Amino acid sequence: MLPTTYSLHARILNLLATISYKLGEVKAAHLERPSPLLQQAYRVSTVHATLSLEGNPLKPTPVADLLAHPGSRSGPARPEASSLEVTNTQQVHDLLPQLDPYLALDFRRAHGELMHNLSMDAGTYRTGPVEVVYGDHPAHGGRSASAENLASLVEELLHFTENDETPMIITSCVLHYGIVYLRPFSAGNGRMARLWQRRVLMAHWPVFAFLPVEAFILKTEPAYHAALEYADRQGDCGGFITYTMERIDEALSELLAEQRSVMTGRERVALFLEEKKPLRFTRKDYRAMFPELSTATASRDLKLANESGGIERIGNGRISLYQPLAALSMNNSGG
C-alpha cells in the first residue's frame, strides 16, 4: 500500500500561502542563486545536518574541511566511514541537477553515489524485511518494512509525486514521508528522503538547490522523528507535512533576512550576465533586474565590471552601452 494519505489542516494551508509568498520574494530579489560564499556555507550546513540526523559524529568545521579538500573515495587511503559519508554526500549533491526526480533509475543512481563504499548493496533495493525505527524508538507495534514489490511501490510513489495536482510543496513532503515509510534500501533511507525532496523542489524553484532545510530539521530532531512515527501510527502524514513545511518556511525566512546584504556589485553583474545573456545592454537594462539599486550604485557596479575586464563600455554618459567581453570576442572573430 502506498503511504500517501494525508489530511489538509488549516495550518498547512496557511504555511502554503506564507511559503509561496516568500518564494516570490526570493525570485523578485534574485536570491535563487546565493553568493558563492553563502552557497559554500549552505552546503556545509546541509551536509553536516543531514548526516548528523543519521548519527555521523563530525562537527561543522571538519565537514567544511572535507568539502573544501575532498580526497579519493577508493584505494589504499580510503577514509573512515564518517569522512566518506561527507565526501559521498558532496558528490551526490553535485550530481543532483543531472538526475530526473521522477525516474526510479536515477533515484537508485543517487543512492549508489550516496552509499558508495558504505553499503554492500548501494544503488539496489533491499531484498529482505527491516525493522522500522524512528530515531531511537521502534515503530508503533514493532512494524517491519517488507521488501515485497519495493520496485513497483517506488515507481508508484514517484509517479504520484509527478502527477499529483496538489501544490508541489505539499506533495514533496508526502514523497519525503513515503521514502522513509517504504525504506527501499538497506541503509541511507533518511538521507535519501531528504535528498529526493530537495531534488523535486529544485525542479520548480532553483533556490532549493542550496536552501539548508536539513539544518532546521536538525535543530528540532526529536520532533522530526516524532512526526514520522505519528504519521506511521495514524496512517496519515498530515502532521509530518506541517512539520516539514515549517522548516522550509524557517529556511526561507533566514535566506531573505541574510542574503540580500551580502551580494556584492561584482556578484550582481555576474548574475545579470548569466541570467540575461545580453549581447549589449544599458544601465537601464541592468537596473530593471535590480530595481532597488540607485542610479549611482548601478553605475558603480558597471564601472567596476568594466575596469576588471568583465564588460566593455561603448560610448559615454546616459547613452552608454555595455557589452560582455565574451560577446565582444565572438563579434571580433566573426562568430
* Together in a domain, 212 and 292: no
Is 70 part of any domain? Answer: yes
In this prediction, residue 327 carries a pLDDT of: 53
pLDDT at 304 over 70: yes
- CATH code for the domain of 284: 1.10.10.10
Is 132 part of any domain? Answer: yes
Domain housing 284: 264-332
Is 3 part of any domain? Answer: no
Q: What angle do CA 180, 185, 191 make, to 5 degrees?
A: 50
- Count other Cβ atoms within 10 Å, centred on residue 203: 18
* Together in a domain, 93 and 161: yes
Cell of 276: 540575461
Is 1 part of any domain? Answer: no
Q: Which of 227, 260, 293 is the last residue of a domain?
A: 260
Is 4 part of any domain? Answer: no
Average pLDDT, integer, range 246-255: 95
Q: pLDDT for 81-128, tens place per residue?
A: 999 999 999 999 999 999 999 999 999 999 999 999 999 999 999 999
**From CA 217, how far away is CA 194, in angstroms rounded?**
10
Could you tell me what percent of the chain has a pLDDT over 70? Answer: 93
Q: Which residue has the higher pLDDT, 260 or 178?
A: 178
Q: Which residue has the higher pLDDT, 330 or 14?
A: 14
**From CA 125, how far away is CA 153, in angstroms rounded?**
11
Q: What is the total count of domains within the chain?
A: 2
Query: Per mean pLDDT, which range of 134-138, 235-239, 304-308 is the poorest?
Result: 134-138
In this prediction, residue 261 carries a pLDDT of: 57
